[in-house]
A and B are shown apart, each in its own frame.
Chain A
Amino acid sequence: MTFTEKQTDPTAPTHWRGNMQADYLYPNGVAGDKFFKHLKNNDNFLATVCPDCEKIFFPPRLYCEDCFVEIPGENWIEVPATGTVRLFTTATINAHGKKMETSKTIGLIDIDKTDGAMLGIIKSSEMDKDLLGLKVKAILRPREQREGTIKDILYFEEI
Chain B
Amino acid sequence: MKKDVAVIGGGMTIFRRRLKETGKELSFLAAKMAMEDAGIQKDDIDMIVMGTAPDAFDGIHMKGENLLDGAAGAGKPYVRVFNGGGTGVFAPIAGWWHVASGVADVCLVVAEEKMGSCYPHPQTAFQHIWDPVLDRPLHPNLVWLFAMEMNRYMTVHGIKKEDIARVAVKNKRNAVGHPCAQLADPNITVDDVLNSEMMAWPVQRLDISPPSDGAAALLFCSEDVVRQYTDDPVWVGGVGWNIDSTMWTNRDLYFPRYVAHAAKMAYKMAGIVNPRKEIDFAEPYDPFDYKELHHMEGLLLCDKGEAPILTREGVTQRDGDMPICPSGGLLGVGNPIAATMGQKVCELYWQLAGKAGKRQIPTNPRVGVGQAWGDIMQMATVMVLKR
Contact = CB atoms under 8 A, between A and B. Distances in A.
A13 to B, nearest CB: 11
B117 A16 contact: no
A66 B45 CA distance: 12
A123 to B, nearest CB: 30
Contacts of A16: 132-133, 136-137
A78 to B, nearest CB: 22
Contacts of B75: 66
B311 to A, nearest CB: 37
A23 B56 CA distance: 9
Nearest 9 CB-CB pairings of A with B: A29-B22, A24-B59, A65-B69, A68-B42, A25-B119, A65-B74, A63-B28, A22-B124, A16-B133
Interface string A54-80: 000000001101111010000000000
A28 B120 CA distance: 17
Contacts of B28: 62-63, 68, 70
Contacts of A62: 25, 28
Given A33-B20, A68-B41, 12 more contacts: A15-B133, A16-B137, A20-B56, A22-B59, A22-B124, A22-B128, A24-B118, A62-B28, A63-B25, A63-B32, A65-B72, A68-B72
Contacts of B133: 15-16
Interface in A20-60: 20-33
Nearest to A21: B124
A10 interface: no
B272 interface: no
Contact of B42 (A22, A67, A70): A67
Nearest to B19: A27
B21 A68 contact: no
A66 B119 contact: no
A31 B137 contact: no
B175 interface: no
Interface of A: 15-16, 18, 20-33, 62-63, 65-68, 70
Given A23-B119, A65-B74, A29 B21 contact: yes
Nearest to B136: A18
B132 A30 contact: no
Contacts of A25: 116-117, 119
A63 B75 CA distance: 16
A30 B119 contact: no
B125 interface: yes
Contact of B20 (A23, A29, A66): A29
Given A16-B137, A70-B32, A22 B125 contact: yes
B279 interface: no
B117 A24 contact: yes
30 contacts: A16-B136, A18-B132, A18-B136, A18-B137, A22-B56, A22-B128, A23-B118, A23-B120, A24-B117, A24-B118, A25-B119, A26-B117, A27-B20, A27-B22, A27-B116, A27-B117, A28-B22, A29-B22, A29-B25, A30-B22, A32-B22, A62-B25, A63-B25, A63-B70, A65-B70, A65-B74, A68-B31, A68-B72, A70-B28, A70-B32
B118 to A, nearest CB: 6
Contacts of A31: 25
Nearest to B27: A63
Nearest to B124: A22
Nearest to A69: B32
Contact of B59 (A18, A26, A28, A67): A26
Nearest to B122: A22
Contacts of A18: 132, 136-137
A69 B175 CA distance: 30
A67 B42 CA distance: 7
Interface string B2-25: 000000000000000011111011
